[in-house]
């Protein structure tokens, strides 16, 4: 079974706003017939479930990346137990310069 993953951009806003914006974008693509419809349906379902069941005040308080305090990209998915999980992708400054870093939550 393929894991459904939705990429959210939390730049200046929280995880809830990012999820709502992405759901709106995906719904537009769906109704315009853009993209792979089964994939769009799976992503829309994931985001809809997330928006209806997540405790957003708790999520925002748990990590500055979820509150919008830090710009990052978040991949939203479900684990094998059906729980929502996050994969953070952010730029990390090293001696060599900026590089991408992936963190699982």
pLDDT tens digits, one per residue of 64-77: 888 988 888 889 99
Evaluate if residue 53 carries a pLDDT over 80. yes
Rounded to the nearest 5 percent, the helix, strand and coil shares of the chain are 45, 30, 25
Q: How many CA atoms lie within 13 A of 82 on its CB side?
A: 3
| pLDDT for position 94 | 54
pLDDT tens digits, one per residue of 77-87: 998 888 898 88
What whole-number percentage of the chain has pLDDT above 70?
A: 83
| pLDDT for position 90 | 63
- Residue ranges of domains in the chain: 5-104
Evaluate if residue 40 carries a pLDDT over 70. yes
Tokens of 48: 């809809």
| pLDDT for position 105 | 43
Evaluate if residue 2 carries a pLDDT over 70. no
| pLDDT for position 103 | 46
């Amino acid at each position: 079974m393929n894991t459904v993953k939705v990429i959210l951009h939390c730049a200046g806003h929280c995880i809830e706003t990012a999820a709502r914006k992405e759901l709106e974008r995906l719904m537009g693509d769906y109704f315009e017939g853009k993209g792979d419809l089964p994939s769009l349906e799976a992503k829309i379902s994931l985001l809809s479930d997330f928006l209806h069941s997540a405790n957003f005040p708790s999520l925002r308080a748990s990590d500055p990346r979820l509150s919008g305090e830090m710009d990052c990209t978040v991949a939203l998915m479900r684990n094998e137990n059906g729980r929502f999980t996050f994969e953070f992708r952010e730029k990390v400054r090293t001696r060599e310069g900026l590089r991408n870093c992936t963190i699982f939550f």
